[in-house]
A = this chain, B = another copy of it.
Amino acid sequence: MIIVMQPNAEQQHLDKVVKRVTEAGLKVHLSEGKQRTIIGIIGEKRIIAELPIAAMSGVEKVVAVTASYKLVSREFKPEDSIIQVGGIEIGGSGIAVMAGPCAVESREQLMESAMIVKQAGAQFLRGGAYKPRTSPYAFQGLEEYGLQLLAEARELTGLKVVTEVMDVQSVGLVSEYADMLQIGARNMQNFQLLKAVGRSNKPVLLKRGMAATISEWLNAAEYILNEGNYNVAFCERGIRTFEDFTRNTLDLSAVAIIKTVSHLPIIVDPSHGTGLWRLVRPMAKAAIAAGADGLMIEVHPNPAEALSDGPQSLTPQNFEELMAETAAIAAVLGRRMA
């Protein structure tokens, strides 16, 4: 941490800051310039993070130098992590594809969807049994019956099931049915939920919050790893900006950044990331080219009848073409559709 004192800071204020820091067991390095003094702080990261220096008299600003996360960082583990989900790998040379409807609506809809995405080459079936919806009057999901249908679809197709868990109480129940637990964007900083899935033995897919910085996202993952669960994959799904042509602005630079600072895998959801089915295929190709380890794609047998997110769902035919196109890009990069 670096403390920048005000230009006119009094000596007594400087002394108090130095006293506060050294009493906490940390070391200081003073750089006294013509205009102002700068104090470098060296020592244990967790102790530094607790220091309330910015509120002290004479302090202009405090600059963090080291990140507040540790277990998720490449400094902690330089080589790529590969997550195992029931025999399927996420983060190796393969590309993991998770596809299916936004919401589980009925047995017929789900089984048909599952067979379509299996046929096209996906390894995971996605589909929400619990749906977070802006309005209380919108369809909220089939709940446990939806989970049962997902498990049935797994029996039918062999696809692994990834589905959202929305609260601490449901972690046990959802874990009975799912192969991978999804934390949705609105819950990225639901810290009790992060801790709860951190104590479960299921792999976790952590979506980025719609206004979350990459640093906050890494810290959210740190909550999970800190509880002992190291099987975490990130999912970029767009951030909120002023642009209103798309539902969100898909931030593909996040893929390259996560690859640089963390050892954990990252996949991309261009369906929520754009909100428009016409953009899903080009953005899926771009995601793979940027280095993503997988894709999450909304596919519906009949998007015009979907109970949620129809406008961003692909038809079966569009999804097949997406798989062929992204496989070609992956091959160029020395990867294959897992």
Within 8 A of B (CB), among A205-242: 209-211, 213-216, 219, 222-223, 226, 239-242
What distance in Å separates the Cβ of A46 from its nearest Cβ neighbour in chain B? 5
**Which of B75, B242, B306 has a CB less than 8 Å from the CB of A52?**
B306
Q: How far is the CA of A291 from the CA of B325 in the complex (A)?
A: 12
Q: How far is the CA of A216 from the CA of B136 in the complex (A)?
A: 11
A119 lies within 8 A of chain B by Cβ: no
What distance in Å separates the Cβ of A175 from its nearest Cβ neighbour in chain B? 17
Query: Please, which residue of chain B has its CB at the minimum distance from the CB of A287?
Result: B286
Q: Is the CB of B256 within 8 A of A283?
A: yes
Q: Is the CB of A31 within 8 A of B29?
A: yes
**Which of B55, B137, B287 has a CB less than 8 Å from the CB of A310?**
B55
Q: Is the CB of B290 within 8 A of A286?
A: yes
Q: Is the CB of A243 within 8 A of B251?
A: yes
Can you list 18 pairs linking A and B with CB atoms under 8 Å apart? Answer: A2-B2, A2-B38, A35-B66, A55-B310, A214-B245, A239-B242, A241-B241, A249-B253, A252-B283, A253-B273, A253-B283, A259-B282, A282-B289, A282-B291, A283-B290, A286-B289, A286-B290, A329-B329
A156 lies within 8 A of chain B by Cβ: no
A173 lies within 8 A of chain B by Cβ: no
Neighbouring B residues of A169 by C-beta, 8 Å: 168-169, 192
**Which of B35, B40, B274, B277 has a CB less than 8 Å from the CB of A253?**
B274
| Per-residue B-contact encoding for A27-58, CB less than 8 Å = 1, 0 else | 00111011110101010011001101111110
Query: Please, which residue of chain B has its CB at the minimum distance from the CB of A198?
Result: B136
Interface centre among A45, A55, A306 (most CB of B within 10 A): A55
A317 lies within 8 A of chain B by Cβ: no
Beyond A54-B311, A241-B251, list 15 extra A-B contacts (CB 8 Å): A20-B304, A49-B137, A53-B304, A55-B304, A132-B189, A134-B215, A136-B223, A167-B167, A186-B191, A242-B242, A252-B286, A253-B273, A286-B286, A289-B289, A289-B290
Neighbouring B residues of A277 by C-beta, 8 Å: 55
Neighbouring B residues of A285 by C-beta, 8 Å: 289-290
